[in-house]
Structure 1
Amino acid sequence: MNWQTKINYLLGHLIGVSFFDGRGTSAVLCYTQIGELFLMEYLYHKQFALKHYEFQLIQEIPPFPASYE
């Protein structure tokens, strides 16, 4: 399934994002707007940043798997 078709189900969830240039990030998907994703990414210590990425840069967006103890 193409990531654009499942994007609404991932809003508010922790996701991984892989980019076409080989980079990746993990973040909470906050919202989408006019061809961009807005993600809340962890920086360090107690700092977070709202970042945005254009759809054309993104290769795949999988949700984080459930963790089991």
Structure 2
Amino acid sequence: MNWQYKIPYLMGQPVGVSFTDGTGTSGILCDADGGQIYVLEYLYHTQFALKHYDYKTIQDLLPFPPCQPTLY
């Protein structure tokens, strides 16, 4: 499935973004408009940044998996 079709289902959710250059990032998908996605990313301490990425730089957009219970 083309990653662009996932956008409506992932809006407001934590996502991983895979870029065509082999790097990636993660955050909350806040918006998608004008050929760009907008992701709220954690920086440090109490700071967050809304960053935008062009569609042409994105390879895939993935939802975070659910947490698995840890057995000790």
2:5 match: secondary structure: helix
> Runs in 1 of length 4+ with deviation above 4 angstroms?
none
Write the distance in 2 (CA, Å) between the matches of 1:62 and 1:50. Answer: 18
Write the distance in 2 (CA, Å) between the matches of 1:57 and 1:5. Answer: 16
1:62 match: secondary structure: strand
Post-superposition offset of 1:33: 0.8
Instruction: Confirm whether residue 60 of structure 1 aligns to residue 44 of structure 2.
Output: no
Please provide the CA RMSD for this pair. Answer: 0.6
Report the TM-score, using the length of structure 2 for normalisation. 0.92
- Give the corresponding residue for 1:8: 8
Structure 2 stretches of 5 or more lacking a match?
none
Report the TM-score, using the length of structure 1 for normalisation. 0.96
Q: Based on CA coordinates, which of the two structures has the bigger radius of gyration?
A: 2
Write the distance in 2 (CA, Å) between the matches of 1:25 and 1:13. Answer: 14
Write the distance in 2 (CA, Å) between the matches of 1:6 and 1:37. Answer: 12
Aligned-residue identity in percent: 55
